[in-house]
Amino acid sequence: MRPVTCLTCAAEVLARKSSWDQTTVQWSAEAVERCVERKQQLPPNERPNRNAFLGCHALKDSVRAAAVRGALEIQDEDPLKTNPEAHQ
């Protein structure tokens, strides 16, 4: 797991990518407090699968950006085919 900070709301979560399409995100209580979009989606009672929620769209982009620049390693070693940013 690697810490990734949302570029919009500054929530810091722990993220792990098993592939380019699969991301696991672990939320701390503080990150939940910070992410506006997450708060809006969370019902009064906490969901049992709360770790499945990836947060706001900005966080998804932030996680992807971290993976693209190598700050977040992809567990799956398959070469990337679709991300143009990786071909630098």
**Binding residues vs Zn ion (CB under 5 A):** 6, 8-9, 35, 56, 58-59
Q: Report residue 34 as tokens.
A: 């910070």
* Residue 31 to residue 36: CA distance in whole angstroms: 10
Q: Cβ closer to Zn ion: 6 or 17? A: 6
In the complex, minimum distance from the CB of residue 13 to Zn ion, in angstroms, rounded to a whole number: 9
Q: Cβ closer to Zn ion: 6 or 63? A: 6
Q: Interior CA angle at 71 toward 87 and 56, to 5°?
A: 95
CB 21 within 8 A of CB 33: no
In the complex, minimum distance from the CB of residue 88 to Zn ion, in angstroms, rounded to a whole number: 26
Q: Cβ closer to Zn ion: 24 or 80? A: 24
